[in-house]
Amino acid sequence: MARQTKVLVTGAGGFIGHHLVTHLKRAGYWVRGVDLKLPEFSATDADDFKVLDLRVWENCREATSGVDEVYALAADMGGMGFISAHHAQILHNNALINLHTLEAARLSGVRRYFYSSSACIYPEYLQGKTDVAPLREEDAYPAAPQDAYGWEKLVTERLCMHYREDYGLETRVARFHNIFGPLGTWDGGREKAPAALCRKIAIAKLAGNSELEIWGDGEQTRSFCYIDDCVAGIYRLMRSEHHDPLNLGQDRMVTINQLADIISEIAGFRIVKKHITGPQGVRGRNSDNTRLRAVLGWQPEVSLEEGLRRTYVWIEEQVRAAAPRFGTPNSKAQASR
Protein backbone atom coordinates (compact mmCIF):
# COMPACT_ATOMS: atom_id res chain seq x y z
CA MET A 1 0.00 0.00 0.00
CA ALA A 2 1.32 3.50 -0.88
CA ARG A 3 2.57 5.52 2.10
CA GLN A 4 0.23 8.32 3.18
CA THR A 5 1.72 11.72 2.20
CA LYS A 6 2.70 13.74 5.27
CA VAL A 7 2.23 17.50 5.21
CA LEU A 8 3.00 20.37 7.56
CA VAL A 9 0.71 23.40 7.86
CA THR A 10 2.33 26.34 9.64
CA GLY A 11 -0.03 28.93 11.12
CA ALA A 12 -2.45 26.02 11.75
CA GLY A 13 -3.80 27.79 14.84
CA GLY A 14 -4.82 30.76 12.68
CA PHE A 15 -7.77 31.43 10.41
CA ILE A 16 -6.72 30.09 7.00
CA GLY A 17 -4.33 27.45 8.37
CA HIS A 18 -7.05 25.92 10.56
CA HIS A 19 -9.46 25.62 7.60
CA LEU A 20 -6.65 24.27 5.41
CA VAL A 21 -5.85 21.50 7.91
CA THR A 22 -9.48 20.35 7.72
CA HIS A 23 -9.39 20.45 3.91
CA LEU A 24 -6.17 18.41 3.75
CA LYS A 25 -7.44 15.83 6.23
CA ARG A 26 -10.54 15.35 4.06
CA ALA A 27 -8.24 14.93 1.04
CA GLY A 28 -6.53 12.01 2.82
CA TYR A 29 -3.23 13.47 4.06
CA TRP A 30 -1.46 12.95 7.37
CA VAL A 31 -1.26 16.51 8.71
CA ARG A 32 0.97 18.19 11.26
CA GLY A 33 -0.10 21.65 12.40
CA VAL A 34 2.31 24.12 13.99
CA ASP A 35 1.56 27.49 15.55
CA LEU A 36 2.23 29.65 18.59
CA LYS A 37 -1.28 28.77 19.72
CA LEU A 38 -4.05 26.21 19.25
CA PRO A 39 -7.00 27.23 17.07
CA GLU A 40 -9.23 29.53 19.12
CA PHE A 41 -12.74 28.63 17.98
CA SER A 42 -12.81 24.89 17.25
CA ALA A 43 -10.53 21.87 17.71
CA THR A 44 -7.90 21.12 15.09
CA ASP A 45 -8.29 18.13 12.75
CA ALA A 46 -4.50 17.73 12.56
CA ASP A 47 -2.99 14.30 13.37
CA ASP A 48 -0.22 16.06 15.25
CA PHE A 49 -0.20 19.64 16.55
CA LYS A 50 2.93 21.28 17.90
CA VAL A 51 2.97 24.62 19.69
CA LEU A 52 6.25 26.13 18.45
CA ASP A 53 7.70 29.55 17.73
CA LEU A 54 8.85 29.37 14.12
CA ARG A 55 11.15 32.35 14.44
CA VAL A 56 13.47 29.88 16.16
CA TRP A 57 15.64 27.74 13.86
CA GLU A 58 15.57 24.55 15.98
CA ASN A 59 11.76 24.71 16.06
CA CYS A 60 11.63 24.91 12.27
CA ARG A 61 13.81 21.78 12.10
CA GLU A 62 11.41 19.98 14.45
CA ALA A 63 8.33 21.21 12.56
CA THR A 64 9.57 20.10 9.12
CA SER A 65 11.07 16.77 10.15
CA GLY A 66 9.55 13.77 8.40
CA VAL A 67 7.10 15.66 6.16
CA ASP A 68 6.86 15.54 2.37
CA GLU A 69 5.18 18.90 1.79
CA VAL A 70 4.82 22.21 3.62
CA TYR A 71 2.05 24.80 3.53
CA ALA A 72 3.62 27.92 5.05
CA LEU A 73 0.97 30.22 6.47
CA ALA A 74 2.46 31.34 9.78
CA ALA A 75 2.83 35.12 9.96
CA ASP A 76 2.62 37.97 12.40
CA MET A 77 -0.24 39.82 10.75
CA GLY A 78 -3.63 41.49 11.03
CA GLY A 79 -5.88 44.04 9.37
CA MET A 80 -4.88 47.56 8.28
CA GLY A 81 -4.89 48.88 11.85
CA PHE A 82 -2.26 46.33 12.87
CA ILE A 83 -0.18 46.27 9.67
CA SER A 84 0.17 50.06 9.48
CA ALA A 85 1.34 50.35 13.10
CA HIS A 86 3.86 47.49 13.54
CA HIS A 87 6.31 47.68 10.64
CA ALA A 88 9.50 46.68 12.49
CA GLN A 89 7.86 43.84 14.41
CA ILE A 90 6.19 42.42 11.29
CA LEU A 91 9.29 42.58 9.10
CA HIS A 92 11.51 41.09 11.82
CA ASN A 93 9.20 38.26 12.85
CA ASN A 94 8.00 37.24 9.40
CA ALA A 95 11.47 37.35 7.87
CA LEU A 96 12.74 35.01 10.60
CA ILE A 97 9.77 32.65 10.22
CA ASN A 98 10.11 32.40 6.45
CA LEU A 99 13.91 32.22 6.18
CA HIS A 100 14.04 29.45 8.76
CA THR A 101 11.01 27.47 7.61
CA LEU A 102 12.13 27.34 3.99
CA GLU A 103 15.71 26.36 4.81
CA ALA A 104 14.58 23.75 7.34
CA ALA A 105 12.19 22.33 4.71
CA ARG A 106 15.08 22.02 2.26
CA LEU A 107 17.29 20.24 4.80
CA SER A 108 14.42 17.90 5.72
CA GLY A 109 14.03 16.85 2.08
CA VAL A 110 10.60 18.45 1.59
CA ARG A 111 9.51 18.10 -2.04
CA ARG A 112 6.82 20.76 -2.39
CA TYR A 113 6.36 24.03 -0.53
CA PHE A 114 3.38 26.41 -0.59
CA TYR A 115 3.90 30.02 0.45
CA SER A 116 1.03 32.39 1.35
CA SER A 117 1.85 35.76 -0.14
CA SER A 118 -0.48 38.73 -0.33
CA ALA A 119 -2.02 41.37 -2.58
CA CYS A 120 -0.10 43.76 -0.30
CA ILE A 121 3.00 43.12 -2.44
CA TYR A 122 1.56 45.20 -5.30
CA PRO A 123 2.96 48.71 -5.81
CA GLU A 124 1.23 51.56 -4.07
CA TYR A 125 1.48 53.67 -7.26
CA LEU A 126 -1.02 51.36 -9.04
CA GLN A 127 -3.61 51.62 -6.26
CA GLY A 128 -4.15 55.35 -5.86
CA LYS A 129 -7.81 55.61 -6.93
CA THR A 130 -11.03 53.77 -6.19
CA ASP A 131 -11.70 52.55 -9.76
CA VAL A 132 -8.29 50.92 -10.20
CA ALA A 133 -7.43 48.45 -12.94
CA PRO A 134 -7.35 44.88 -11.55
CA LEU A 135 -3.80 43.87 -10.59
CA ARG A 136 -2.06 41.35 -12.84
CA GLU A 137 0.75 39.19 -11.51
CA GLU A 138 3.36 41.02 -13.60
CA ASP A 139 2.33 44.38 -12.06
CA ALA A 140 4.39 43.50 -8.96
CA TYR A 141 7.47 45.22 -10.45
CA PRO A 142 8.95 47.82 -10.25
CA ALA A 143 8.29 47.04 -6.59
CA ALA A 144 6.79 49.60 -4.19
CA PRO A 145 4.55 47.87 -1.61
CA GLN A 146 2.88 50.26 0.85
CA ASP A 147 3.95 48.55 4.10
CA ALA A 148 6.77 46.46 5.59
CA TYR A 149 4.32 43.55 5.57
CA GLY A 150 4.17 43.67 1.74
CA TRP A 151 7.95 44.07 1.35
CA GLU A 152 8.61 41.00 3.45
CA LYS A 153 6.07 38.98 1.44
CA LEU A 154 7.78 40.05 -1.78
CA VAL A 155 11.23 39.06 -0.51
CA THR A 156 9.93 35.65 0.55
CA GLU A 157 8.31 35.19 -2.88
CA ARG A 158 11.79 35.69 -4.34
CA LEU A 159 13.33 33.36 -1.79
CA CYS A 160 10.88 30.66 -2.92
CA MET A 161 11.83 31.29 -6.56
CA HIS A 162 15.54 30.96 -5.79
CA TYR A 163 15.09 27.82 -3.69
CA ARG A 164 13.27 26.24 -6.64
CA GLU A 165 15.89 27.33 -9.16
CA ASP A 166 18.98 26.64 -7.03
CA TYR A 167 17.89 23.63 -4.96
CA GLY A 168 15.02 22.05 -6.93
CA LEU A 169 12.49 22.51 -4.11
CA GLU A 170 9.13 22.87 -5.89
CA THR A 171 7.66 26.10 -4.54
CA ARG A 172 4.14 27.45 -5.14
CA VAL A 173 3.09 31.00 -4.26
CA ALA A 174 -0.43 32.47 -3.99
CA ARG A 175 -1.17 36.15 -3.46
CA PHE A 176 -4.31 36.20 -1.31
CA HIS A 177 -6.80 39.06 -1.73
CA ASN A 178 -8.75 39.70 1.51
CA ILE A 179 -9.84 36.28 2.71
CA PHE A 180 -12.78 36.17 5.12
CA GLY A 181 -15.12 33.69 6.78
CA PRO A 182 -16.14 32.04 10.05
CA LEU A 183 -13.51 30.96 12.64
CA GLY A 184 -11.36 34.02 11.91
CA THR A 185 -10.20 36.77 14.26
CA TRP A 186 -13.16 39.10 14.74
CA ASP A 187 -12.05 41.22 17.69
CA GLY A 188 -8.94 42.45 19.51
CA GLY A 189 -7.17 44.63 16.90
CA ARG A 190 -5.92 42.09 14.32
CA GLU A 191 -9.30 41.55 12.62
CA LYS A 192 -9.85 42.64 9.02
CA ALA A 193 -12.59 44.76 7.50
CA PRO A 194 -15.30 42.09 6.87
CA ALA A 195 -14.97 40.64 10.39
CA ALA A 196 -14.71 44.09 12.00
CA LEU A 197 -17.85 45.30 10.20
CA CYS A 198 -19.77 42.11 11.06
CA ARG A 199 -18.81 42.60 14.73
CA LYS A 200 -19.69 46.29 14.78
CA ILE A 201 -23.06 45.66 13.10
CA ALA A 202 -23.84 42.73 15.42
CA ILE A 203 -23.04 44.89 18.47
CA ALA A 204 -25.07 47.79 17.06
CA LYS A 205 -28.00 45.42 16.46
CA LEU A 206 -27.85 43.86 19.91
CA ALA A 207 -27.51 47.25 21.59
CA GLY A 208 -30.19 48.82 19.37
CA ASN A 209 -27.77 51.62 18.44
CA SER A 210 -27.66 52.18 14.67
CA GLU A 211 -24.45 54.23 14.47
CA LEU A 212 -21.58 52.45 12.66
CA GLU A 213 -18.04 53.85 12.62
CA ILE A 214 -16.11 53.40 9.36
CA TRP A 215 -12.44 54.33 8.86
CA GLY A 216 -12.09 57.05 6.22
CA ASP A 217 -14.84 58.00 3.76
CA GLY A 218 -15.63 54.32 3.11
CA GLU A 219 -15.14 54.77 -0.65
CA GLN A 220 -11.88 52.76 -0.68
CA THR A 221 -12.38 49.62 -2.78
CA ARG A 222 -11.37 45.96 -2.38
CA SER A 223 -12.37 42.47 -3.48
CA PHE A 224 -13.13 39.81 -0.86
CA CYS A 225 -12.76 36.04 -1.12
CA TYR A 226 -14.53 33.45 1.00
CA ILE A 227 -12.38 31.00 2.97
CA ASP A 228 -13.67 27.80 1.29
CA ASP A 229 -12.57 29.16 -2.09
CA CYS A 230 -9.21 30.15 -0.62
CA VAL A 231 -8.36 26.65 0.66
CA ALA A 232 -9.67 25.04 -2.54
CA GLY A 233 -7.43 27.39 -4.54
CA ILE A 234 -4.37 26.71 -2.36
CA TYR A 235 -4.81 22.99 -2.87
CA ARG A 236 -5.29 23.27 -6.64
CA LEU A 237 -2.21 25.46 -6.94
CA MET A 238 -0.11 23.08 -4.85
CA ARG A 239 -1.07 20.20 -7.14
CA SER A 240 -0.43 22.23 -10.31
CA GLU A 241 2.90 22.72 -12.11
CA HIS A 242 2.62 26.53 -12.01
CA HIS A 243 5.51 27.92 -9.98
CA ASP A 244 5.17 31.68 -10.48
CA PRO A 245 3.13 33.74 -7.99
CA LEU A 246 -0.61 33.59 -8.70
CA ASN A 247 -3.46 35.86 -7.53
CA LEU A 248 -5.98 34.04 -5.36
CA GLY A 249 -9.09 36.09 -4.69
CA GLN A 250 -12.34 37.37 -6.11
CA ASP A 251 -12.41 39.97 -8.87
CA ARG A 252 -15.60 41.75 -7.82
CA MET A 253 -14.65 45.12 -6.34
CA VAL A 254 -16.86 46.84 -3.74
CA THR A 255 -16.41 49.90 -1.53
CA ILE A 256 -16.20 49.52 2.23
CA ASN A 257 -19.51 51.43 2.40
CA GLN A 258 -21.10 48.82 0.10
CA LEU A 259 -19.62 46.03 2.20
CA ALA A 260 -21.24 47.57 5.29
CA ASP A 261 -24.59 47.87 3.46
CA ILE A 262 -24.54 44.20 2.43
CA ILE A 263 -23.80 43.10 6.02
CA SER A 264 -26.48 45.42 7.39
CA GLU A 265 -29.00 43.84 4.99
CA ILE A 266 -27.94 40.34 6.12
CA ALA A 267 -28.23 41.36 9.79
CA GLY A 268 -31.67 42.81 9.14
CA PHE A 269 -30.58 45.97 10.95
CA ARG A 270 -30.35 49.45 9.40
CA ILE A 271 -27.16 51.32 10.17
CA VAL A 272 -26.17 54.99 10.02
CA LYS A 273 -22.54 55.33 8.91
CA LYS A 274 -20.22 57.66 10.77
CA HIS A 275 -16.92 58.19 8.95
CA ILE A 276 -13.98 58.66 11.28
CA THR A 277 -10.22 59.02 10.89
CA GLY A 278 -8.43 55.67 10.65
CA PRO A 279 -5.91 53.70 8.57
CA GLN A 280 -7.36 52.82 5.17
CA GLY A 281 -4.51 51.23 3.24
CA VAL A 282 -4.39 51.80 -0.51
CA ARG A 283 -7.31 53.63 -2.13
CA GLY A 284 -8.40 50.83 -4.42
CA ARG A 285 -7.44 47.22 -5.14
CA ASN A 286 -8.79 44.38 -7.22
CA SER A 287 -7.52 41.02 -8.45
CA ASP A 288 -7.06 40.26 -12.15
CA ASN A 289 -8.03 36.58 -12.34
CA THR A 290 -7.12 35.93 -15.97
CA ARG A 291 -4.09 33.82 -15.06
CA LEU A 292 -5.83 32.10 -12.15
CA ARG A 293 -8.52 30.85 -14.54
CA ALA A 294 -5.99 29.82 -17.19
CA VAL A 295 -3.69 27.98 -14.76
CA LEU A 296 -6.19 26.27 -12.48
CA GLY A 297 -9.21 26.02 -14.81
CA TRP A 298 -11.17 27.29 -11.85
CA GLN A 299 -12.06 30.48 -10.00
CA PRO A 300 -13.59 31.32 -6.62
CA GLU A 301 -17.24 30.32 -6.56
CA VAL A 302 -18.87 31.60 -3.35
CA SER A 303 -20.63 34.95 -3.83
CA LEU A 304 -19.77 37.86 -1.55
CA GLU A 305 -23.34 37.89 -0.19
CA GLU A 306 -23.32 34.16 0.62
CA GLY A 307 -19.86 34.31 2.20
CA LEU A 308 -20.82 37.32 4.30
CA ARG A 309 -24.06 35.65 5.36
CA ARG A 310 -22.16 32.62 6.72
CA THR A 311 -19.60 34.91 8.37
CA TYR A 312 -22.13 37.29 9.91
CA VAL A 313 -24.17 34.45 11.42
CA TRP A 314 -21.04 33.09 13.11
CA ILE A 315 -19.82 36.48 14.35
CA GLU A 316 -23.24 37.43 15.70
CA GLU A 317 -23.14 34.18 17.71
CA GLN A 318 -19.70 35.14 19.10
CA VAL A 319 -20.91 38.63 19.99
CA ARG A 320 -24.00 37.26 21.75
CA ALA A 321 -21.83 34.86 23.76
CA ALA A 322 -19.53 37.75 24.74
CA ALA A 323 -22.42 40.21 25.17
CA PRO A 324 -21.53 41.51 28.67
CA ARG A 325 -18.05 42.48 27.41
CA PHE A 326 -19.63 44.78 24.83
CA GLY A 327 -22.22 46.25 27.21
CA THR A 328 -24.98 44.57 25.23
CA PRO A 329 -26.93 42.57 27.80
CA ASN A 330 -28.21 39.31 26.39
CA SER A 331 -31.75 40.02 27.54
CA LYS A 332 -31.83 43.15 25.43
CA ALA A 333 -30.14 41.27 22.62
CA GLN A 334 -32.81 38.57 22.73
CA ALA A 335 -35.55 41.18 22.81
CA SER A 336 -34.24 42.87 19.68
CA ARG A 337 -34.23 39.69 17.59
Residues forming the active site: 149
Q: How far apart are CA 113 and CA 44, in angstroms?
A: 21
Helix (H, G, I), strand (E, B) or coil at 213: strand
Please list the helix, strand and coil fractions of the chain in percent, rounded to the nearest 5, in that order. 45, 20, 40
- Shortest reach from residue 96's CB to ligand NAD, in Å: 7
Work out which of 35, 103, 152, 157 binds ligand NAD, going by CB under 6 A: 35
Q: How far apart are CA 116 and CA 75, in angstroms?
A: 9
Work out which of 8, 21, 46, 54 binds ligand NAD, going by CB under 6 A: 54
Q: How far apart are CA 166 and CA 275, in angstroms?
A: 50
Residue whose CB is nearest to ligand NAD in the complex, by number: 14
For 15-57, the DSSP string reads: HHHHHHHHHHHHTT-EEEEEESS--SSS----SEEEE--TTSH
Is residue 191 at the binding interface for ligand NAD, with CB under 6 A as the rule? no
Work out which of 53, 68, 139, 187 binds ligand NAD, going by CB under 6 A: 53
- Shortest reach from residue 246's CB to ligand NAD, in Å: 13
Q: How far apart are CA 93 and CA 162, in angstroms?
A: 21
* 36 vs 254 by CB, closer to ligand NAD: 36
Is residue 64 at the binding interface for ligand NAD, with CB under 6 A as the rule? no
Work out which of 23, 32, 55, 200 binds ligand NAD, going by CB under 6 A: 55
Work out which of 67, 179, 246, 259 binds ligand NAD, going by CB under 6 A: 179
Interface residues for ligand NAD in 81-140 (CB under 6 A)? 93, 97, 116, 118
Q: How far apart are CA 33 and CA 104, in angstroms?
A: 16
Is residue 17 at the binding interface for ligand NAD, with CB under 6 A as the rule? yes
Q: Which amino acid is at 7?
A: V
* Strand partners of residue 113: 70, 171
* 49 vs 269 by CB, closer to ligand NAD: 49
Give residues in contact with ligand NAD (CB under 6 A): 11, 13-17, 35-37, 53-55, 73-77, 93, 97, 116, 118, 176, 178-179, 185, 192
